[in-house]
Every structure is written in C-alpha cells, then in structure tokens.
C-alpha cells in the first residue's frame, strides 16, 4: 500500500514539474511578446509625435503625405480584395453547367 502511494506521489510530482516547466515557457513567450508590443507602441508614439511636428512646421507637406498614405492604403485594400476574389474563383472547383437547349431525346433527330 505504501509503495503504491509513493508511486502515485512520484507521478503527481513529475506531472506538476512538467506543468511548471510548460507554464514557465509560456510566461517567457508572453514576456517576450509584451516587450515587442511595447517597442512597437513606442515607435508608434514617436511617429505620431513626428507627424504632429511636421503638421505644425510644414502643413502643405503634411497634407500631401497624408493624401499619399491614404491613397496607398486604398490601393493595397483593393489589391487584397482582388486577390481574395481570384483565389475564391480558383478554388471553386466543380461548376455544374446547365443543360443546353439542343436537340434532345432519341427521336428528336429523326423527322
């Protein structure tokens, strides 16, 4: 009986150690992801500040750059839509063709 309890305790300890290792790995991944997100957010804040500075100093250039950015984004969106439509048409696979209105039946050709 005591031997079985020791085996059970060892299995529980092993399972807990594996779970702890897995959770530590996940925590490391999440920490790395959070660091990357913080870096990205800092870059976005910097760019936003630079754009605001540019808008104050050179309003004409800012307007031109903003219009160019918007047109580029719209162009990219249109291209993505066209690509998704093309992929959908390619993957459609089987298309049933409706029957033609030609001569039908065995006696239709004889007169």
pLDDT tens, position by position, 73-100? 999 999 999 999 988 887 766 566 666 6
Nearest to 66 by CA among 84, 46, 51: 51
Cα Rg, the chain, nearest whole Å? 33
Phi, psi of 11 (to 5 degrees): -65, -40
Mean pLDDT computed over every residue of the chain: 87
pLDDT of residue 4: 82
What does the pLDDT read at residue 102?
Answer: 64
Which tokens belong to 17? 């150690």
pLDDT of 45 above 70 = yes
Torsion angles phi and psi, residue 84, rounded to 5: -70, -35
């Amino acid at each position: 009986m005591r031997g079985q309890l020791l085996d059970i305790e060892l299995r529980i300890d092993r399972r807990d150690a594996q779970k702890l290792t897995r959770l530590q790995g996940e925590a490391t991944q999440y920490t790395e992801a959070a660091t990357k997100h913080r870096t990205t957010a800092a870059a976005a804040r910097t760019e936003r500040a630079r754009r605001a500075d540019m808008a104050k100093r050179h309003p004409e250039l800012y307007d031109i750059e903003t219009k160019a950015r918007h047109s580029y984004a719209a162009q990219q969106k249109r291209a993505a839509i066209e690509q998704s439509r093309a992929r959908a048409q390619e993957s459609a696979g089987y298309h049933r063709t409706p029957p033609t209105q030609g001569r039908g039946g065995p006696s239709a050709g004889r007169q």
